Amino acid sequence: MAQLVPLPADSLPTNCANVYVAVELSRSNWIVAVHAPALGDKVSSHQLAGGDVAHLLSVIDRVCRQVAHTGHAEPIAYCCYEAGYDGFWLHRLLLAHGIRNFVLDAASLLVDRRAKRAKTDHLDARSLLRALIGLSQGDTYGCRAVRVPTVDEEDARRLHRERQRLVRERTGHINRIKALLSAQGIRALRITDKTWLNRLGRLRTGDGRPLPAQLRAEIARQWRRLMLLEEMRRQVEAERDGLLRGNTGADQSVGNIQRLAKLKGIGPEFATIFAREVFYRHFSNRRQVGSYLGLAPCPYNSGSSRRDQGISKAGNPRARTAAIEMAWMWLRYQPNSALSQWYRNRVGTMEGRIRRILIVGLARKLVIALWRYVSTGLVPTGAIIET
């Protein structure tokens, strides 16, 4: 049976024909909070089995029919849930059934900081419901809805993200093998060589002993997993590099990859990351570009206290990391560009921390320049384009 709890009067919407639904998702259970102003000032709470979409749609349809029977116009159903483990499939399904859905950024929801607060799935669903009501009325400050990518945009990201995971796993296996050998007094080099395993039996420990049998077997298994990862990484990179030679067709991101890769110092990996993580979105100005990457300043000015807290780091962490790495490469391969000259004039002869601070500023300027390049064709001043 649905649980009825009152909703504060100050959060009631003005349009009584609307139906508001908030879904708190988990693997085992979904908590659904429903509020229809036409039916009163109560919130009904429903507990569903995780993934039971048919039950969720039946609850929304039943409430909409109840609102329609009260004599109001055709009700509009608004729904929301937090972005997370379930991705965006539910959002697309709800839209297909005529429900206006929002995927909310969990970090943007306001919470009470006065004291310890109770936290349950039912309370979280009510908080989502309040945020949804405000968002449907145009209040974009109480919470933020994420931009849901299309199916093609989401699928295009998998290539470079899979490569990054494979590289991390590869590094882990290499470090594990080196750690096992280092514990025996062996400094092994180039263990990614295909013939390295044949030389494993000839290695001697620091005190002159051959490797123990079990240790040698463990290292051999680690090495075989490493070779499998290497093969997968080469397959992914071959598919990625094929984009540079292929026809752009209707895929704008492929065209952006090819344009970015023409700039000296920007390889296929950087080009793929920025074309499919950043430049697939529409930005109105340079501030939006910097904010999306989390490369926006975050000052603290309150009363007599004034300090700089650094960058916000609230944007895309994958693209932000790549931007800083690319900034170092830009200094190396585009030394005569205006951006590189700006960095050298600011840094001068200083070393250490100041260089790492200013490289963040260079990364922001570089990404903005690349955004202008892919959107308008304006080449960064002094940059070299490889033909």
Supply the DSSP string of 274-340, one letter for each residue.
HHHHTTTS--SSHHHHHHHTT-SEEEEEETTEEEEEEE---S-HHHHHHHHHHHHHHHHH-TTSHHH
Whether the Cβ atoms of residue 216 and residue 201 lie closer than 8 Å to each other: yes
Q: How high is the pLDDT of residue 9?
A: 38
| 175 has a pLDDT exceeding 70 | yes
What is the C-alpha separation between 64 and 74, in angstroms, rounded?
A: 8
Average pLDDT over residues 53-77: 88
Residue carrying the six token digits 């206290």: 305
Q: Point out the least confidently predicted range of 67-76, 291-300, 340-349, 373-382.
A: 67-76
Question: Which of these, 260, 253, 270, lies nearest to 329 by C-alpha position?
Answer: 270
- Annotated domain spans of the chain: 3-148, 154-245, 252-376
Under a CB-based contact definition with an 8 Å cutoff, are residues 36 and 66 in contact?
yes
Reported as type and span, the H/E element at residue 298 is: strand 297-302
- Residue predicted with more confidence, 140 or 86: 86
- pLDDT above 70 covers a percentage of the chain that reads 95
49 pLDDT tier (thresholds 50, 70, 90): very high
pLDDT of 4 higher than 50: no
Q: Hey, what are 334's tokens?
A: 């585009």
| Segment among 10-14, 21-25, 80-84, 226-230 with least mean pLDDT | 10-14
pLDDT(189) > 80: no
Confidence of residue 13 (pLDDT cuts 50, 70, 90): very low
Pairing of strands 76-82, 18-24: parallel
pLDDT digits (tens, 9 = 90+) for 235-268: 999 999 988 887 766 678 888 999 999 999 999 9
Residues facing 299 on adjacent strands: 308
CATH architecture of 3-148: 2-Layer Sandwich (3.30)
pLDDT top residue among 71 and 187: 187
248 Cβ partners below 8 Å, 6+ apart? 254, 255, 258
What are the pLDDT digits (tens) for 289-348?
Answer: 999 999 988 888 888 888 888 888 888 999 999 999 999 999 999 999 999 999 999 998
Q: Which of 75-84, 196-205, 376-385 has the lowest mean pLDDT?
A: 196-205
How far apart, in whole angstroms, are the C-alpha atoms of residue 33 and residue 44? 6
Please tell me the predicted confidence (pLDDT) of residue 195: 84
How confident is the model at residue 250, as a pLDDT? 60
- Which tokens in the block code for residue 238? 């071959």
Query: Contact, 41 vs 11, CB < 8 A?
Result: no
d(CA 116, CA 307): 29
CA angle in degrees (0–180, nearest 5) for 283-294-300: 115
pLDDT of residue 5: 39
pTM here is 0.83
- Residue 196 pLDDT grade (very low, low, confident, very high; cuts 50, 70, 90): confident
pLDDT of residue 248: 64
Query: Do 42 and 4 contact (CB within 8 A), yes or no?
Result: yes
- Tokens for 10, please give them: 């100050």
Identify residue 285 by its one-letter amino acid code: N
Q: What is the mean pLDDT of residues 41-46?
A: 90
State the Cα–Cα distance between residues 234 and 225, nearest whole angstrom. Answer: 14
Q: How far is Cα 171 from Cα 226, in angstroms, rounded to an integer? A: 9
Number of other CB atoms surrounding residue 22 within 10 Å: 28
